[in-house]
Structure 1
Amino acid sequence: MSAMETDELPVVLPSSTTSGLSLALHPLPILNISEHLTRMRLQTRSSLPFVLGALLGTQNGREVEIVNSFELAVENDGESVNQAFLVTRKELYKQVFPSLEFIGWYTVAERPTAKHIALHDQFIVYSSTPLLLVMQPSTLFTSGTEIGGQSLPLKAYEPTIEIRDRKSRSVFIEASFSVETGEAERIAVDWTAKGGEGGTSLEGHLQTQRAAVKMLHDRILLLVKYVSEAIAGSAKKDHATLRALSALIASLPASENRGFREEFDTEYEDVQLTAYLASLTKSSNILNELVDRHLILTSPREERGGGGGSGPRRRGLMGRQGDFDRFHM
């Protein structure tokens, strides 16, 4: 069978053929594929760039669970997979997630073609039946289509062998899937869906603050209207209310009032000067006491006389007492 004939034959069996595979898809690979596609669009400036990656998960008989994914490197314009890169990344993920195995691969396309069959054959060495997850671009996706109970631009395919004209070839069977989420995944998806705004608590706090400011503004306008009408005589004057308003205004900061600022600065300087003078007075008092003590200790004594051992002490005591009396008269 020539390559042209292979391209003309459909590689997906009719929808009447069921897969019978129980497939569960987690949100993380969906987000990874979407991010991969968006990044490649920006890098290549193409609406439909070539995207290729591996799917990791667990398989127990016909029950398959896709948990994670990672990107793959390609060669020859996307015709072949960089096997060394695939093996290295797979082993690295195996060290971190020992329970996850290579389940299949993903790409972005309108539908599987013969090119995808050629890529599929390169993954058989890692899994006997590698699954294919195709993300369909939004421009080619019908929003009314239900996939696995979810309106997602994704389709899953299971590989199989078709015998036609006594010849066998690889084809795909569309498999239904369901989205499975854990508690941590639901929180992460909810945060991502809200644009990563830092959580709903911040939004609620800001909304509360906005409502409080709006209420305060409305009440201030109401008070201004009442005072204007009271001055104009169209409203009855309530002296208790007016006194409360006057006290409220007096308690408000008047930093924008130039007269208030000048008066405040003057009082502030007076207080600072008073504190400075008090400190000087206290320092002068301490210095005066030190001078007095120095004079008492160094003042001249009376001439010492006599040879008694106790005489000098008596004269010394009397001399200190005389100095003390002289300096404190």
Structure 2
Amino acid sequence: MSAMDTDELSVVLPSTTTSGLSLSLHPLPILNISEHLTRMKLRTNTNTPFVLGALLGTQNGREVDIVNTFELAVEGDGQLIDHAFFTHRRDQYKQVFPSLEFIGWYTVAPIPTAKHIAFHEQFSAYTPTPLLLILQPISSAVSSNSTITSQNLPFRAYEPSLEIRDRKSRSVFIEAPFTVETGEAERIAVDWTAKGGAGGTSLESHLQTQRAAIKMLHERIMVLVKYVAEVVAGRATKDHAALRSLSALMASLPATESPGFREEFDTEYEDVQLTAYLSSLTKSANILNDLVDKHIVIIGRDERGQGIPSRRRGPMGNRGIEWDRMH
């Protein structure tokens, strides 16, 4: 363990110092970080492997949403991040998710230490205030039947800040409370993952309910079809009230696709289009007639000024030819 890890001076301000950050954590980062830790445990065969990754999300003022993550690589003795790998992965995610920005980083540790301050300073080159999300290993897992909240999740979020001590400033962290933001699709995915993909999930229950409703509707429709067939065949007594209700129900349904319906629809559609075209043609002819009349009036005025006979109204006006008197 390095000297930085044994530093007695805590890099986390007391709980009396509060953060004004409004932080929302989505289920996908939770699953990604947990999977990253599990995979590193199996790879290194240790219970406390070194885990490092980047946080992607959106930030609007003091409102921050952590939406996605990706893993990071380190160089040398594990104290420096691989900047080339980081920028390459960040640009790749930017092409797929243009609305997401790099907003911080994550790791696995009980509490932040001076080692995390060193990583924080490296990430400060990419964003002014990189957030820190820590997964704290615990012995007992959260029950899959309990409601997922920020209180029973082994995660802690920290906002960077500066502390003035003995006329010197140093980088510190302030713990920021967060809420778990889940949409409908995310809740279904988390529920399915928590139960190992087994049956009994809310999605399966919802689909079974829909299937039962559709099956019941089909059975009732078949009862009505059978009754109408029996009435037509004369094997059942006519219930005029039921037949009227059935007729009203059929009239309220959308028209079905059939040759008779399509032929009638096409005929009515052609009649309506023909009427619209005839109206447009009549309107255009009327406008053209007025334009010709005005043109003839203007030409007639010029010809009268020269003593030349003129026609005040054209053939479309149906007003004949009028000769001016010679003075």
Q: Tell me the TM-score normalized by structure 2.
A: 0.57
2: distance between equivalents of 1:152 and 1:172? 20
| Secondary structure, aligned partner of 2:69 | strand
* Aligned counterpart, 1:94: 94
Amino acid at match of 1:31: L
Residues 111 and 99 (structure 1 numbering): CA distance in 2 closer, same or farther, change over 3 Å?
Answer: same
* Aligned counterpart, 1:113: 113
1: distance between equivalents of 2:158 and 2:89? 24
* Aligned counterpart, 2:65: 65
| Secondary structure, aligned partner of 1:13 | coil
CA shift at 1:134, angstroms?
0.3
2: distance between equivalents of 1:71 and 1:135? 14
Amino acid at match of 1:69: T
Residues 5 and 98 (structure 1 numbering): CA distance in 2 closer, same or farther, change over 3 Å?
Answer: closer
CA shift at 1:197, angstroms?
2.8
Residues 156 and 95 (structure 1 numbering): CA distance in 2 closer, same or farther, change over 3 Å?
Answer: same
* Aligned counterpart, 1:27: 27
* Aligned counterpart, 2:223: none
1: distance between equivalents of 2:103 and 2:203? 40
Residues 148 and 117 (structure 1 numbering): CA distance in 2 closer, same or farther, change over 3 Å?
Answer: farther
Q: 1:57·1:65 contact (CA, 8 Å) conserved in 2?
A: yes
1: distance between equivalents of 2:56 and 2:102? 5
CA shift at 1:139, angstroms?
3.3
Percentage of matched positions with identical amino acids? 75
* Aligned counterpart, 1:83: 83
Residues 65 and 122 (structure 1 numbering): CA distance in 2 closer, same or farther, change over 3 Å?
Answer: same
Q: 1:103·1:127 contact (CA, 8 Å) conserved in 2?
A: yes
* Aligned counterpart, 1:160: 161
Q: 2:56·2:100 contact (CA, 8 Å) conserved in 1?
A: yes
2: distance between equivalents of 1:63 and 1:189? 24
More helix by share: 1
Amino acid at match of 1:52: L
Unaligned runs of 5+ in 2: 206-327
Residues 56 and 149 (structure 1 numbering): CA distance in 2 closer, same or farther, change over 3 Å?
Answer: closer
CA shift at 1:75, angstroms?
1.4
Larger gyration radius, structure 1 or structure 2: 1
Residues 114 and 148 (structure 1 numbering): CA distance in 2 closer, same or farther, change over 3 Å?
Answer: farther
Residues 42 and 165 (structure 1 numbering): CA distance in 2 closer, same or farther, change over 3 Å?
Answer: same
Amino acid at match of 2:171: S
Question: What do the CA deviations read for 1:153-204 (whole angstroms, capped 9, x no partner)?
Answer: 0000000011101111100000000000111111111110110237749988
Amino acid at match of 2:197: G
1:190 and 2:196 correspond: no
1: distance between equivalents of 2:5 and 2:108? 24
* Aligned counterpart, 2:151: 150
Q: 1:105·1:133 contact (CA, 8 Å) conserved in 2?
A: yes
| Secondary structure, aligned partner of 2:59 | strand
Amino acid at match of 1:47: N
1:41 and 2:41 correspond: yes
1: distance between equivalents of 2:142 and 2:193? 24
Q: Which segment drifts farther, 192-201 or 115-124?
A: 192-201
Q: 1:56·1:66 contact (CA, 8 Å) conserved in 2?
A: yes
Cα RMSD over matched residues?
Answer: 2.7
Q: Which segment drifts farther, 35-44 or 134-143?
A: 134-143
Residues 139 and 119 (structure 1 numbering): CA distance in 2 closer, same or farther, change over 3 Å?
Answer: same
| Secondary structure, aligned partner of 1:8 | coil
2: distance between equivalents of 1:142 and 1:39? 19
| Secondary structure, aligned partner of 1:43 | helix
| Secondary structure, aligned partner of 1:129 | coil
The count of corresponding residues between Structure 1 and Structure 2 is: 200
2: distance between equivalents of 1:119 and 1:174? 17
2: distance between equivalents of 1:164 and 1:194? 49
Amino acid at match of 2:37: L
Residues 151 and 6 (structure 1 numbering): CA distance in 2 closer, same or farther, change over 3 Å?
Answer: closer
Q: 2:142·2:153 contact (CA, 8 Å) conserved in 1?
A: no
| Secondary structure, aligned partner of 1:157 | strand
Question: What do the CA deviations read for 1:198-250 (whole angstroms, capped 9, x no partner)?
Answer: 7749988xxxxxxxxxxxxxxxxxxxxxxxxxxxxxxxxxxxxxxxxxxxxxx
Question: What do the CA deviations read for 1:90-140 (whole angstroms, capped 9, x no partner)?
Answer: 000000000000010000001000000000000001110000000000139
2: distance between equivalents of 1:89 and 1:4? 29
2: distance between equivalents of 1:201 and 1:10? 45
| Secondary structure, aligned partner of 1:173 | strand
Structure 1 segment 286-325 matched on structure 2, within 5 A: none
1: distance between equivalents of 2:88 and 2:170? 30
